[in-house]
Amino acid sequence: MRLALVSVFKMTRFCTIPGRLQKPFNPLLGETFELVTNKFRLITEQVSHHPPITAYHIQGATYEMFSQQATTTKFNGRNIVALPPNRIYVVLYLPDGTKEVYSSN
């Protein structure tokens, strides 16, 4: 069941791709953003401007997730393909004190 939930989480990043027609947020090099709620803490930092790469870390009570976003694009004359080449790491903290680490790219 945990693997199914992690797989669904991984696929949710692709559900908004068709609607992304506007220019993406492009922060300055070294700029950070932090969001703290009752359920999680998110911190991001722009680590490269050209190419744009954003590193992020999300931490909740029972999980942790981190990665960097750096999409590569390929154009072959008829279409364009955007590929997210980086791994996403998800750490689940289980009630028995152990943890499970999942990664995907």
For every one of its 105 residues, what pLDDT tens digit does the chain have, with 9 covering 90 and above?
777 777 766 666 555 555 555 555 556 778 888 889 999 898 888 888 777 788 889 999 998 988 877 766 777 777 767 666 678 888 999 999 999 888 875
- Any domain includes 26: no
48 lies in which domain range? 2-18+37-104
pLDDT at 32: 85
* 3-state SS record for 62-73: CEEEEEEECCEE
30 occurs within a structural domain: no
The per-residue pLDDT for 56 is: 87
pLDDT of 10 reads 65
24 in any annotated domain: no
Residue 71 lies in a domain: yes
- The answer to whether residue 27 is domain-embedded is no
75 domain-assigned: yes
Hey, what are 89's tokens? Answer: 């790491």
Q: Indicate the helix (H) or strand (E) that contains 6.
A: helix 2-11
Count up the domains in the chain and report the number: 1
Q: Is the pTM of this model over 0.75?
A: no
Q: How far is CA 51 from CA 23, 55, 68, 86, in A?
A: 15, 13, 12, 14
Q: Report pLDDT for 53.
A: 80
